[in-house]
Amino acid sequence: METRIRRIYVKLAGLLLAGSFSASALAQDDQTIDEIISPDLERREIREAAIDSEDFELTTYLGGVLSVEDFGSNRLVGGSLAYHISEDFFMEAAYGQSELGESSYERLSGSAPLLTEEERELSMYNLSLAWNFLPGEIFVFDKLALNSNLYLIGGIGNTSFADEEYFTYNVGAGVRVLAQDWLALRLDVRDHIFEHEIFGEPLTTNNLSAQLGVSIYF
């Protein structure tokens, strides 16, 4: 009885050994295994399109005017760089230079000027976010339809004159007409709001600017 049981054990061990041997033999034969387990699927290759983005817009002001409250209206020169985030939004960094005229106090009192010539030079920069809220087309006579945008814009920045820096908020609206895909004409009207103390007391001023610019996309 006992020998019979042992014989069964031996047979079982032999079988297991043989099994493991044949398995290792199979494992060495990679090709066979690959044929058995690799799924019948073709891998799809994907490639990124080699395509140029034109999301930046560089604007130069052809003509601009800045009215500084109580210091008259003067020519504004400058430009801006915009990044188009989506078809609805873009952000813009702008820089401009202008100068101040004589204030009404200086003109009427006839006294010594409040500011020197150097102090009348004004420079400003700002960073704004804009929303193209009325995209559309502008029709010029019979044959021409130009893509256009009406946008609302607002942001923060800095205005510098009279040896001082003034923290400036700006809000405004503008219209952009695209002559080509890469060329546009822009008219932009902004209110630059800051507080100054040139007349002795803190005074919040609204300073309007209007600028016509030409911009290229790249």
Partner 1 sequence: MAALLAALLLAGHAAAQQDEVPVTESFSARQFDSQPPADLPFDSEQVVVGSEFLNLYTGPGRGYVIDHVVAYGEPLWLLKRRTDWVKVMTRKGKTGWAKISELDEIFATDGVRVVVPTPGIDDYSERSLRLGFAYGDFAGANSMGVSLGYRFTRNLSAEVRAAQTVGAYSNSQTYQVAVVHKPFPEWRLAPYFLLGTGINITSPNATIVATEDRQDTAMLTGIGVTTYLSRRFALRAEVANHYLLTSRENNQEIVEWKLGFDVFM
Contact 74, 65 (CB under 8 A): yes
Contact 210, 188 (CB under 8 A): yes
* Residue 45 DSSP one-character state: P
- Compute the least distance from the CB of residue 132 to partner 1, in Å: 8
Tokens of 158: 């800095």
Judged by CB under 8 A, does residue 29 bind partner 1? no
Stretch that binds partner 1, among 5-13, 26-34, 135-143, 207-215 (CB under 8 A): 135-143
Give the integer Cα–Cα distance in Å for 157 and 95.
10
Stretch that binds partner 1, among 68-76, 99-107, 128-136, 206-214 (CB under 8 A): 128-136
Contacts of 112 (CB under 8 A, 6+ apart): none
- Compute the least distance from the CB of residue 27 to partner 1, in Å: 33
Q: How many residues in the shown chain lie near partner 1 by CB under 8 A?
A: 35
Give the integer Cα–Cα distance in Å for 202 and 195.
6
- Residue from 2, 34, 35, 87 that binds partner 1 (CB under 8 A)? 87
Would you tell me which residues interact with partner 1 (CB under 8 A)?
Answer: 44-55, 83-87, 127, 132, 135-137, 145, 147, 156-158, 163-167, 181, 197, 217
